[in-house]
Amino acid sequence: MNIFNKKGFNFIEIIIFVVIAILIFATFSQLFSLSVDLPFISDRSKALYYAQKEIEKLNNTPYSNILTILRTNYPDDTNYDYEIIVNENSPQNNKKDVFIRFYFKDKPQILVELFSKFIKLEKVELCEDFQDRNWTAPPWNWTRNPKGQWDIIEYPNNSQNYRAYYARRQSGFIYPDWAGSSNYTLSVDFYLTSFLLNYSIVRFYGRYNNTTDNGYFVEVRTYNIWLIDEYTYFYLYKVVNGVNTLLGQYYLDYSIFNNWHNIKLEMVQNKINVYFDGGQTPIITAIDNQFTSGSIRVSVESQSLATPVYFDNICVKEVD
């Protein structure tokens, strides 16, 4: 009997079998490796999400508050540690390189590292002294209403000092094309003239929307009744859709006619201060957070052509 009468595998079949076996092994090996790596991939994805979240927080943080945080446990997920490394790489200190790193808790291996560069933006500081005698010259293009009642004149005569000027029985206002900001001061020099029974009212607006009539303003009302009874009121209002709400007031038992004075309206976060004539202590302080940004405006109400109002050195300065 021939025990070898059954056909065996030829060489080509053996090669094919070996190749198929290798492919099957490789597939299962990859699947096994993937199943082992899945937890690590999931952890790394989560760490990447947290790192991006911290970058977003820094994008909304004042430049001066972007600071190094040494490695510590991440408060939003205690399975991770994180650190923020800040390098101020500019001689002018106006640029910061920021590295955000995430780790497994108490492990040396970095899971994720993100890099971002932050540049300190220059603060807005715009002042208009009207010396160019042009309503549309830099730094601002002024809107005037009524347009024909505003002018820029030399005052006093032969002083070579030019001021914005308004004199009319109805109310008038000016505002620039400046888009506005969040935290800033508005400072204005103003001069009110008196004539017996007449009164003058000026208003200085901040964080104001000239379209919706929303924002804050200081109102100065000063009276001179037959040169005997003189007094001045300062009011701080919030205006919402044309409706005024009183936030604070201050009183002087004399008028401030016929002299130059200064009002400064300061708005930082939710705190609003009003300063008068360079004083270091505000005459009015209020807390309100309804409006966080906006532009400026100056308005005036004069009782007659005999009581003109002058403005000068209208300045906006951003603050931290």
Q: What DSSP string describes the chain?
A: --TT-S----HHHHHHHHHHHHHHHHHHHHHHHHHHHHHHHHHHHHHHHHHHHHHHHHHTS-GGG---EEEEE-TT-TTEEEEEEEE---TTS-EEEEEEEEEETT--SEEEEEEEEEEPPPPPEEEE--TT--TTSTT--EEEESGGGEEEEESSTTS--EEEEE--SSEEEEEES---BSSEEEEEEEEE---TT-EEEEEEEEEEETTTTEEEEEEEEEEEETTTEEEEEEEEEEEETTEEEEEEEEEESS--TTSEEEEEEEEETTEEEEEETT-SS-SEEEE--S---BEEEEEEEESSTTS-EEEEEEEEEE--
Average confidence score pLDDT of the chain: 85
- pLDDT for the residue 34: 42
- pLDDT for the residue 260: 95
- pLDDT for the residue 4: 45
Comparing CA positions, the residue from 162, 169, 108, 90 lying closest to residue 131 is 162
pLDDT < 70 positions in the chain:
1-41, 89-93, 121, 195-198, 225-229, 303-306
Strand order, beta sheet including 95-104: 69-73, 80-87, 95-104, 110-119
The total number of residues written for the chain in this structure = 320
Comparing CA positions, the residue from 272, 268, 269, 230 lying closest to residue 248 is 272
Q: Are the CB atoms for 185 and 127 separated by under 8 Å?
A: no
How many degrees, rounded to 5, is the angle at CA 192 between CA 226 and CA 194?
20
Q: pLDDT by residue (tens digit) across 238-263?
A: 999 989 999 999 999 888 888 999 99
- pLDDT for the residue 215: 96
- pLDDT for the residue 318: 92
- pLDDT for the residue 160: 93
- pLDDT for the residue 199: 73
